[in-house]
Amino acid sequence: MKIQLLGTAGGDFRRVDDPEDKFGYLPRVRELGGKNLRCPAQAMIFPDILIDFYNGDQIDKFDIAPESIKHLLITHNHWDHLQPLRILEFAAALPHPLQIYGSHNVIEAIKFANTYDFDRSSGRFIIRKKQTDVEYYKLEPAQSYEIGGTTVDPVHGNHCMDKSDNMIMQDVCLNYVFERDGKTIFYGMDSSYTLPLTFEYLRKFRIDVAVMDMTFGRWPIDVDKSGHHNLDMLIETIEEFREAGIFHEETTILVSHISLAFVEPHDDLKDELSKMGIILAYDGQEIEV
Ligand SMILES: [Zn+2]
Ligand SMILES: [Zn+2]
């Protein structure tokens, strides 16, 4: 099984040209270029599964044949992972109906965008003239699905949460476990500390490759306000997964969904993480398992 990380950025990737840079990382990111530049988080599980869709730029950049993409899995309804109009545009150019998978909210959002246009002059939604031929599948966490030749188990990620005061879950963010030919890949984006029932469900897997959320690197975050890990939190999660046998000796651990403004550029951080057994991902990185 092979995964390619087409994009590895957190939601602040558009700040790369921001002159108001708090930490001073952005000028260095611009200067270094290459692996230090990041586009929105997106990944390909070969041969036919794409995860998340901000736009199709990275699909072109890394020479993925669009017609090879049969299944689109969406993690959650944040704009850097889900752009319904761009998905429909991409699907309309395919020779087959794109099969789209996600939470109830994600599927309803894409259906809505396929049903209505917003008419700015009247301020009303109007029925779209032409709908794109796609197929929708609502996923539930902690269940197994056969998607193409791959077994896919979505699990509930700790994200899209308005936490302590309001306790409102805004979407069932889905992290995904992929299994094929006896190998297992975990795509844990976006997520903060693992939810207890997700942790219990994950115990049945021995993950070979894990792509984990390390959005804030060494920045001390307020866990109440954030649906992500920083490095210290991630280390706790990795320990928990190791103790439970979810990660084993040989598990390859990559970190992605990296903030450009809060985290050192790739070239400056990768060696330090590598000493901890963590690989700092970059756009285009391929991992075969
Ligand atoms: Zn995100
Ligand atoms: Zn998000």
Write down the domain spans for the chain: 2-288
Task: Categorize the per-residue pLDDT at 259 as very low, low, confident or very high, splitting at 50, 70 and 90.
Answer: very high
Q: How confident is the model at residue 21 (pLDDT cuts 50, 70, 90)?
A: confident
- 91-133 pLDDT, tens per residue? 999 999 999 999 999 999 999 999 999 999 999 999 999 999 9
Helix (H, G, I), strand (E, B) or coil at 87: helix
Say how many Å lie between the CA of residue 41 and the centre of ligand 1: 7
Per-residue model confidence (pLDDT) at position 236? 98
Report pLDDT for 20: 75
CA 245 to CA 248: how far, in whole Å?
A: 6
* Dist. CA 94–CA 85, nearest whole Å: 15
Q: How far apart are CA 70 and CA 64, in angstroms?
A: 12
DSSP-assigned beta bridge partners for residue 2: 46, 288
Is a pLDDT exceeding 90 seen at residue 18? no
**Bridge partners of residue 178, in order along the sequence:** 152, 185
Give the burial string for 225-235 (b: 16+ CB within 10 Å, else e).
ebbbbbbebbe
Q: Say whether pLDDT at 19 is over 80.
A: no
Q: How far is the CA of 257 from the centre of ligand 1 (A)?
A: 6
- pLDDT for position 269: 97
Give the pLDDT confidence of 24-82 residue by residue, as tens digits: 899 999 999 999 999 999 999 999 999 999 999 999 999 999 999 999 999 999 999 99
**Ligand closest in space to the Cα of 257:** 1
Confirm if 256 and 189 have CB atoms less than 8 A apart: yes
Ligand 1 centroid–CA 151 distance in Å is 24
**Which residues neighbour 40 within 8 Å (Cβ) at sequence distance 6 or greater?**
7, 9, 11, 13, 52, 54, 55, 80, 81
Sign of CA dihedral 86, 187, 192, 264: negative
Distance 189 CA to ligand 1 centre (A): 7
Q: Which ligand is nearest to the CA of 157?
A: 2
Residue 14, pLDDT score: 87
Distance between Cα 152 and ligand 1 center (Å): 21
Query: Looking at the chain, how many residues does it have?
Result: 289
pLDDT at 187 over 80: yes
- Take residue 131 and report the two structure tokens written for it: 């709908």
Q: What is the whole-number distance in angstroms between the Cα of residue 40 and the centre of ligand 2?
A: 11
Q: With cut-offs at 50, 70 and 90, classify the pLDDT of residue 261.
A: very high
Q: Which fold has domain 2-288?
A: Metallo-beta-lactamase; Chain A (3.60.15)
Global pTM value: 0.97
> What is the per-residue pLDDT across 201-248, written as a single tens digit (0 to 9) for each?
999 999 999 999 999 999 999 999 999 999 999 999 999 999 999 999
Q: Look at residue 283 in the predicted model and tell me its pLDDT.
A: 98
Encoded amino acid at 89, one letter: E
